[in-house]
Amino acid sequence: MSDAQKFLRLTVELTVEVLDVDALQAAAMAEIRHPDAELTDEERTEQAELVSSDETGASALQWLIEPEHVLQLVEHIEEIEPREAVLGVEPSEGPSEDEDDEDHIHA
């Protein structure tokens, strides 16, 4: 095997249905207000406004997903070292037809 570094990009797409956007926003607001959030008062206000004004719940969900949760997908694999994790949450029209097929879920 070559000593050259090799990188692989893992792409995961997950569509969720927001059952209660108000509760989702409230949970995100609790995280924003938490003292461990390490935000300035200005940042706290800005993030709170962003979450409360986003009717889709995407901003709230992004606040509630910890980067460590994403890294848990691969932490048990000793032959790799995670180098970068990027998470984006955006509104969707709903699951595509092939997403309804349970064969795509490998849990």
Q: What is the pLDDT of residue 77?
A: 93
80: which residues sit within 8 A by CB, 6+ positions away? 8, 74
pLDDT at 103 over 90: no
In terms of pLDDT, which residue wins out, 5 or 33?
Answer: 33
> Cβ–Cβ contacts within 10 Å for residue 10, how many?
10
Q: How far apart are CA 11 and CA 84, in angstroms?
A: 12
**Alpha-carbon Rg for the chain in angstroms:** 17
Q: Find the distance separating the first CA and the last CA of the chain, reported in whole Å.
A: 31
> How far is residue 87 from each of residues 40, 76, 98, measured CA to CA in Å?
23, 20, 23
Average pLDDT rounded to a whole number, residues 10-18? 90
The domain limits of the chain are 21-91
And the tokens for 22?
Answer: 């108000």
Contact 21, 52 (CB under 8 A): no
pLDDT in tens, 46-99: 999 999 999 999 999 999 998 788 888 899 999 999 888 888 889 888 888 764
